[in-house]
Amino acid sequence: MKNYILILVAFIFSTSCGDKSKIGKYTKEELPSEFSYVIVRDESDKALEKNELYVELSDKISEGQIATIANELYNSRDKERRFYIFYTLKEGGRSNSVWAVSHFDPNLEILINGLTATEELSLKKKADNIDGEILGEFFEGEYTLGRYIVFKKNDRLFVKTIFKDGSSMVEEMRESQSQAGIILNPREESNGEYYILTGNTLELYNSDNKRFTVAKKYEEVKTNPK
Mean predicted confidence (pLDDT) in 129-139: 85
Q: Report yes or no: 3 and 9 within 8 Å, Cβ to Cβ.
A: no
Q: Model confidence at 224, in pLDDT bands (50, 70, 90)?
A: very low
Distance, CA of 116 to CA of 111 (rounded, Å): 11
Q: Of 69, 30, 31, 62, nearest to 226 (Cα)?
A: 62
Q: What is the pTM of this model?
A: 0.55
pLDDT of residue 26: 93
Starting at the edge strand found earlier in the chain, the sheet holding 108-112 runs 37-42, 50-57, 82-91, 94-104, 108-112
> What is d(CA 137, CA 62) in angstroms, rounded to the nearest whole number?
24
Write the DSSP symbol of residue 165.
Answer: T
Predicted confidence (pLDDT) per residue in 36-56, tens digit: 999 999 999 988 889 999 999
Question: Residue 13 has what pLDDT?
Answer: 43
Q: Report pLDDT digits (tens) over 157-208.
A: 999 998 877 788 899 999 999 888 999 999 987 788 999 999 889 999 998 9
pLDDT tens track for 62-121: 899 999 999 999 999 888 888 999 999 886 544 557 888 999 978 899 988 767 766 666
Q: What is the torsional sign of CA 42, 55, 113, 191?
A: positive
pLDDT band at 223 (very low <50, low <70, confident <90, very high): very low
Of 124 and 92, the structure prediction assigns the larger pLDDT to 124
The answer to whether domain 118-217 has CATH 2.40.128 is yes
pLDDT at residue 123 in the model: 61
Domain boundary assignment for the chain: 2-113, 118-217
pLDDT of residue 126: 57
